[in-house]
Amino acid sequence: MGLVVAENITKIYSVVATKVSKDYKVGEIAIRALNEVSFEIEPASFVSFVGPSGSGKTTLLNLIGCLDKPTEGKLEVAGTDVLHLDRKQSASFRGNNLGFIFQDFNLLPVLTVFENIEYPLLMVQKIPGVERKKRIMALLEAVGMTDQRDKYPDQISGGQKQRVAIARALVTNPKLVLADEPTANLDHKTAFLVLESMKKMRNEFRTTFVFSTHDQKIVGEAEIIYSLEDGELVGKQVKGGQKNG
């Protein structure tokens, strides 16, 4: 028993959110986009936030991704209290600990598939050439894009772009990958393939994945599903079926 308690205390969560709220100021009025949201995300889990449009998914993922700051509450990401990071610290925190996958893929059009994956290793972290090449080739292989490595983003399909984006997000060995509606611009078949890729990466690299979606069909792919409604966390579902209030 004592052992289990000790393990719980020293465990570093990927994310710990305690009563996190976010207000947007629109003119004089403050819009509450998130209201006292609390949760923990364990390392190497595959988590989804689900909810209709406007429920606060993007807002929450931006907070976890250190792209924005909560109005109230406490937020720890990868063991770091991210509330007090300044602009530059946030940027290097993101570069060293987080990976991002975007709805619109957001690959740099002037760089090839290979160079897009290489970008964070050159411009964000400084990884020597041999190691760089090894990592990129491994990831290209893992997402099945090795033969497309010299193509430019406008020469490949949406699903392929998102797989490149997954590789780019993982190349820095982040602790946590955040994906805001990663499949919203893909057809269902491709969406499932992309999620399969993400899960495969999680299994291979033990990286925590957090993604959001408004698509009920996709949600099933997640192992832990948080439901958001009007900025409030209204449910947690752990794969296996049990639902917690």
Ligand X SMILES: Nc1ncnc2c1ncn2[C@@H]1O[C@H](COP(=O)(O)OP(=O)(O)O)[C@@H](O)[C@H]1O
Which residues form the interface with ligand X (CB under 6 A)? 24, 26, 31, 33, 51, 53-59
Query: Among 71, 106, 185, 190, which residue sits at the site for another protein (rule: CB under 8 A)?
Result: 106
Q: How far is the CB of 59 from ligand X (least distance, A)?
A: 3
Angle at which helices 158-170 and 188-205 pack, to 10 degrees? 20
Q: How far is the CB of 181 from another protein (least distance, A)?
A: 12
Distance, in Å, from the CA atom of 201 to the CA atom of 206, rounded to the nearest integer, reads: 7
Cα distances (Å, whole numbers) of residue 179 to 26, 95, 130: 26, 15, 29
Asked if 156 and 113 count as a contact pair (C-beta separation under 8 A), the reply is yes
238 binds another protein (CB under 8 A): no
Query: Among 53, 87, 147, 242, which residue sits at the site for another protein (rule: CB under 8 A)?
Result: 87
Binding partner at 122 among Mg ion, another protein, ligand X, none, C-beta below 5 to 8 Å by kind = another protein
Q: Which of 129, 98, 123 is nearest to 108 (CA)?
A: 123
Asked if 61 and 68 count as a contact pair (C-beta separation under 8 A), the reply is no
Q: Scan residues 135-174 and list those touching another protein (CB under 8 A).
A: 168-169
Distance, in Å, from the CA atom of 6 to the CA atom of 22, rounded to the nearest integer, reads: 33
67 binds another protein (CB under 8 A): yes
Q: How far is the CB of 121 from ligand X (least distance, A)?
A: 30
Distance, in Å, from the CA atom of 108 to the CA atom of 44, rounded to the nearest integer, reads: 28
95 binds another protein (CB under 8 A): yes
Residues that bind another protein (CB under 8 A): 62, 65, 67-68, 87-88, 91-96, 98-100, 102, 104, 106, 108-111, 119-120, 122-124, 168-169
